[in-house]
Amino acid sequence: MSTLLPVSVLDDSSRPHRLSDFFRCAHRNRTLALSVCLDDYMNANALRVKSMVCFECGQGGQNREAFAADADTEGLLDQEIWARLISDMKDPEG
């Protein structure tokens, strides 16, 4: 059984809700996975790295809010976090 999550690319009118969703990042002018956006947004703001384009990014903030709200109401957060943890813990050779 595969632990890979389905990948979906969203248009500009949709907000990503799952870690595996891809969207168009306005500040980087490229397509990003929500997981990358959230990691970079949280790191830039938690560490106050003003030189990062993700620092105080409005789109990153909206993505974080949408993900948190959706995950809390539908239980997706636990499911996706566990899938990533299990995937990270698997032996790369096995």
pLDDT tens digits for range 20-41? 889 999 999 999 999 999 999 9
* Residue 47 in domain: yes
Give the residues of the chain that fall short of pLDDT 70. Answer: 1-14, 71-79, 91-94
Domain membership of residue 62 (yes or no) is no
8 A C-beta contact, residue 16 and residue 66: yes
Number of separate domains in the chain = 1
Q: Which domain holds residue 13?
A: 1-57
Predicted local confidence at residue 2, as pLDDT: 45
Q: What is the pTM of this model?
A: 0.62
| pLDDT at residue 59, as a whole number | 94
> CA torsion 79→84→90→91, rounded to 10°?
170
Per-residue pLDDT at 28: 93
